[in-house]
Structures are given as structure tokens and as C-alpha cells.
Amino acid sequence: MKLDIDYLIENLTLEEKAGLCSGADFWHTKSVERLGIPAVMVSDGPHGLRKQVDSEFHPDEHRSVKAVCYPAGSALACSFDRSLMQKVGEYLGEEARAENIHTLLGPAINIKRSPLCGRNFEYLSEDPYLAGELSASYVKGVQSKNVGVSVKHYAANNQEYKRMSVDAIVDERTLREIYLKAFEITIKKSNPWTLMCAYNKLNGTYCSENKKLLTDIPRNEWGYEGIIMTDWGAMNDRVKAIKAGLELEMPSSSGYNDRKIVEAVKNGELDIEILNNTVRKLLEWIELGLNELPEIKNYDKELHHSFSRRVAGECAILLKNNNEILPLKKSGNIAFIGPFAKKPRYQGGGSSHVDAFKVTSAVEAVGDLVANNADLSIIYKAGIEDDGVTRNEALLKDAVEAAKASEAAVLFVGLPDSFEAESYDRDHMDMPDCQNELIEAVAAVQPNTVVVLHKGSPVTMPWKDQVVAILDMYLGGQAVGGAAVDILFGDVNPSGKLAESMPYRLEDTPCYLNFPGDGKKVYYSEGVFVGYRYYDSKRMGVMYPFGHGLSYTKFSIGDIKVSDSLFDGKGTVNVSVKVKNIGNTVGAEVVQLYISPFDELLRIRPLKELKGFEKVYLMPGEERVTSFELDYYSFAYYNVDVNDWHVEPGEYKILVGNSSRNITCEASLELKTSKVPFLYTETTTIKDVFDYGKGHIIMPLIQKYREQNFEDTTPDDEIVKEAMRELSVHNVVSFIKISNEELDQIIENLKKSE
């Protein structure tokens, strides 16, 4: 179905145009029946549909349609698998079509600045490149089914505390390299139908009315063509927002902001052409979902449930596996302990909460395994109360006795619902005391103790050295229990990698002193040193590094080759490595490529940054060459002096391995790029001038300094330059006698110099 947009804009009344700029209710846009403009429905959906049955009220999962809950974003990112992310998007797109959803509200790609952020379970990674690449694949998948997405929350929404009003103070370089990069990659690679602006202020201006954020950067720099909508209730000043480039306010404001728009046009505050352009983009967005495609009346929920189980298995991370205790044998007596074994925590709380049509627990899934393996016996014990936070001495004693009598014990533990959810941040990184006590008590009597974690963010592990294996399922969706059993007993070989670092302590985190701010402002003082960029640059120990994840087989990564020894930044350079499965089990390895700048730049740049990754599936003994293409931006940082991306010339290291801390091979590449143009400022030093090759302009100053400060010796120019190196050019008058005219002429020559 096509809309005659020019005709519609000409015939819509001012009031109708204003009305199209906000929702009709919580989930629908307004229709204009007399002109054939339909209402469309949006729905939460980062990892499953949450279509509301009653749109007149605030969302409540108990009034949602039954749907499939896939692993949350925190888990999905650990797949490091673009094709899997695209497939998840395709399944969600199919489900949305079946429910007549026009646009899904997701993916959520904010950077994990602190492990305390209450919504981290929805977010993908601490690394913007990984988040952007996976997000783009997800978007391609959803939109291939002619369903839109709303990439959120744009931008710098990295905490829940005061999220509606806090002012995030982020310097330009950090903003570009860390907090906008995933959005930039997503827009350039997948052209999402919509962006969702965040609640918070950014550098003093609400995101909903920030022209730089909404127009200058995405539209003018990145070429974004879709619409920008608010998060629910994120509007501040409606007229300012339209001028800044925000098209759609959600949900309805009951006509309040519609009237503001009408008044602004009538009194000349808002140009009618700005409103017309806003309406045009809204109509173009509505039209995207009206294409005539084969109708989907229903979808196979059981098939999608099975797919969700496979996805959860692909995302799970084997953190530890001493003595190769895993996979467990399908025989003997094994104790399953902990309430999450019977009632898993598989998703987070808040707007992304899905009313799952079924949930498979580990106890249920292992029952099927026992039925087919007569020598296998599983006993279940709760160990603590079902809420996951309450100690029960009798249950604890019962669990310990069961563990002691078994050949192995598997504890299903983690963060309960009350510990992490949208609308509030965590106060600490600890699991409930009763769970830590349970693990330690079981490990004290059972040497073969395995821990299975269910949580959306890193936790402390005081018992880490007391257990033999740790399997991290994150929040693995409604089939997480089945996926855990698949891995525990070897039907699936784990291949997930950590998409975020796991520090030992909260105090180790880069923003510890600046999170979550004072309630009015939060300063991103750590700059670009977020996650592994911080830990690796400081050579600081972490519990588990970014990119870490074990397998039931072994891999070798080596024989690195670079297509060129010199690179001028034009085109691309190819890097290849050989990956081989040197074990006895089929499995997948995630090959990770990092760029490390030359030593001089390490004062201002992280030690290494992820710039490539590929998940490679190999049979035992199989070897494959994996290749990466690097371009100018793979080596660039955002230079605020020129307001653009820039690559400093010099030698860079190309590091390849299977985590940020396990680099197995490296190569060097010389970048023959141009230095940043010389820009004279009042803080320019003598050293700056020589570093930029402009020393000849200030040689008269060097000569005068020698003549006036070295009476008995005649040192060479290098010694004099070293003595003067930190002097600002305009401050040399404090150390040498020079006429105003002569110094002014030197400064003028520096300003003209290119």
C-alpha cells in the first residue's frame, strides 16, 4: 500500500498534522480516517514480543500476549555471532508480523559503563564495535520481515538512577568513540526505521531536543533516513524537540503537546515547513510497514522455543572447567541444587518482560535425559527459599547431604528478580548471602561442584576457587534450562565469549568514583577507558577478561599474515590467520582482532581495541583461514581539534587471539597517513611546534635563548630545545628579550602555517 504523501500533507489540517506527531494511546499512533492514514502499533521486543492486550493502561506483563522469550541482550552478545543475531531478528520479525506489529522497540545498545546499571541485562556490551556489529545484524533480520525496529536508547543512557533527568556530561571524543559508535555502525549498516531518544540530558540539553544529537550527527554526518521517537515519556519541550529533529512523541500526551505545536505554528514560533517535513517523515515511516506481503496469521511457537534453546546454548560462557569435569557423564548420581534449577531466572524486569508461553527448567530438561539413560540419576534440592534471598537451615542441610552423597553437584544460582531490573540500579555486585553460603557449603563436601549462573550482569564470586567449573548462562530466555543441560552433559559444546569484563570488585571499575553522579549531573570522567580498555591499559587483574570463554575442545590461532606492510589509509588491508581445532570435539572458536597503537599514542588511547571478530565452527582436526578487512577507521580516534576521525602515522600492532588477555599472534603495520594539520593556539608549546615540523619558524627564539641563557657554553640546538620544550610560545618573553613586533610576527607565521 502506497500513501500519496504530497497530497496528504497538502490536505491535512494543522491540527491533524500536529496530532500525527504523538501517539493515540500507549502503543498506537493516530489515524486520520478521512484521508486513509492508518494507525500503526509498536511493541516492546528486544528479546521477545510484549504486545499489550489493553493499551489504555501502563504496561503490565500479565496483560501481554503469550510469546517466545529469547535470551536477553546481555546473553545474545556473548554469541559473538552476526548470523545468529540476524536469525534471532528474523524470528522476532515473523512473530511481530503475526501480531500486526509495525515496529519493535529494540535493540537496546547502550554501553555497559558500570556493572551496576539496572538495565545492563538488556544491553549488549561494554564494547561499541561489538554492540554495533551485532545490532546491525539483528536489525537486518527484523526488517527483512517488513517490521521496523527502534534502536535505543540514544544516547548516554547508562544508568537508571535519575534517568529521566540526569545530565550526562561526556566529552566529545568519548561520546563519539564509545557512546555513539554502536548507533553509528547500526545506522550505516542496516538503516533502522527508527531511533529512540533517551530520557536524560546530554551535556546540558535533553536528548529529545538536542539538535546536535538528533540532526547534525545522525542525519547530516551518518546519512540517517528514518524517524526519531521518544522513549515513553521522554518529552520535555515539544516545540524545541520538533525543531531539533524529533518526529514522534510516545505515548499520547492527551492532546497537550499537540496543542503546543498548533500554537507555535500560529504565533510564528514554529515554521510550518518544519512541521510539514516532520509529518512527511512520519508518513514515510508508516508507509514502510504497509507493503503487501504474504500474511502471517500465526507462527510455530514450539519451533521458535526450540530455536531459543539453541540460541541460549550458543551464548553460554564456560568460565572455568578444571580437570575437564564438564561435560558430565550421563551416568551416576548427580545433585541439582538451587531454586533456579526448578524455576530459572531467564529474563529481566521492566518494559522488556515477556509473558513466555512456556519455560523449560533444568530439572524438567534433565528428566528427559534420565528417561533415556538408565544409569543416570538426578536428585533435586532447593538449598534455600524459592525467592533466592532467604536462608533456610533445614534446606541448606538437606542440600549439603545430597551433594555429599552424589558423584557431582550442580548449583543453579545467580541474581533474583529483585536484584536487577529497569528503573533502579544495583548497589553492589554481590549475589545474595544465602546463595554464596550454599555454594561454599556444598563445595566443602563435594569436590566435583559445578556452578551455573543466571544473571544479567557481573557478580563477585568469593567461592570461585572452591568450585571446579562455572557455566554462565546470563539470562538465557525461556529455554535456558534445556540449554544448560545440553551443555552440562555435552550435547552442546559451549562457544560463548564474555561481551563484558568481569572485575574482581566494584572498586576496580573505571567509573567507580563517578557513578551514578549526584542526581543532577554524572561526569564520564573515565573518558574512553571503559571496560577492557581500562583494565588492559592499566594491566589490572580481572576475574575474567573481555572475550573469555572456554570450550570442550582446543583451538590454535596463528600464522598471521597482513596483505601490506604499509597502509596509507585508502581502501582496506587484509589480515588472515589460521584457526585449527586441535581437540577431539566439534566446536566453535571466536577469533578476535585488536588494534594497538604505537607507544607514543598510548598516552591518549587504550592499549588495545576490538576491530574484528569471527565465529568459526570446526570439526576435530579441521583448519580454516579466517580473514579480516581493516580500513582507515579501524585505526582512527576522534580528534576534537579537527572535529573528525583521524589516524596518526606510525607503527600499529595487529593482535589476534581468543580474548583481550589471550593474544596468540601479532603483526605490525606501518600507517603512512597525514598528521593532524598544525593549529596554533595559546597553549602551543615549543615542543608542539617542532613535533609538527614547524621548528624553522621559531628558530630565532632558539637562537636568542642560547645567546641570553648560556654565557660560558654554546650548546647545540637539541639541548636548547629540550630546555625550552614545555614553554608556550607566547610565554617566551619571560625568559628571553625579544621585541613585541618580532614575537607577534612569529606567532602570525605559526597561525598561517599549514
**Distance (Å, rounded) from C-alpha 396 to C-alpha 413?**
14
Q: How far is CA 320 from CA 330, 405, 407, 452, 552, in A?
A: 20, 24, 19, 11, 11
Q: Rounded to whole angstroms, how far apart are CA atoms 546 and 500?
A: 5
Rounded to 10°, the helix 82-98/128-143 angle is 40
Instruction: Please give the backbone phi and psi of residue 655, each rounded to the nearest 5 degrees, phi first.
Output: -110, 130
What beta strand segments (E) does 456-504 contain?
Answer: 469-472
Best CA proximity match to 158, nearest among 206, 116, 209? 116
By C-alpha distance, which of 87, 615, 103 is closest to 303? 87
- The Cα 385–Cα 406 span in angstroms is 22
Cα dihedral 236, 237, 242, 244, rounded to 10, equals -80
- Nearest 5°: phi and psi at 202? -130, 115
Cell numbers given for 613: 571478530
Q: Are 360 and 68 in contact (CB under 8 A)?
A: no
Confirm whether 231 is a catalytic residue. yes
CA distances from 550 to 321, 458, 544 (A): 8, 17, 11
Contact (Cβ atoms closer than 8 angstroms) between residue 443 and residue 462:
no
Q: Is 363 helix (H, G, I), strand (E, B) or coil?
A: helix
Question: d(Cα 453, Cα 545) in Å, to the nearest integer?
Answer: 17
Residues 620, 581 contacting (CB under 8 angstroms): yes
641-649 CB contacts, 8 Å cutoff, 24+ apart = 641/676, 641/679, 642/676, 642/677, 642/679, 643/172, 645/176, 646/676, 647/569, 647/671, 647/673, 648/597, 648/598, 648/601, 648/673, 648/675, 648/676, 649/673, 649/674, 649/675
DSSP structure string for 514-526: GSS-SSSEEE-TT
- Give the Å distances, CA to CA, from 3 to 37, 40, 280, 397: 8, 14, 11, 69
Residue whose C-alpha is closest to residue 181's, from 647, 641, 636, 642: 636
In sequence order, the 6+-apart residues with CB closer than 8 A to the CB of 174 are 524, 527, 528
Using CA atoms, how far apart are residues 613 and 705, in angstroms rounded to an integer?
54
Phi, psi values for residue 442, rounded to 5°? -70, -45
Burial, 443: exposed, middle or buried (Cβ in 10 Å; 0-12, 13-18, 19+)? Answer: buried
The residue from 231, 258, 425, 486 that is catalytic is 231
Q: C-alpha grid cell for residue 453?
A: 549462573
**β-sheet bridge partners, residue 629:** 574
Assess contact for 596 and 546: CB atoms under 8 A: no
Please identify every residue annotated as catalytic.
231
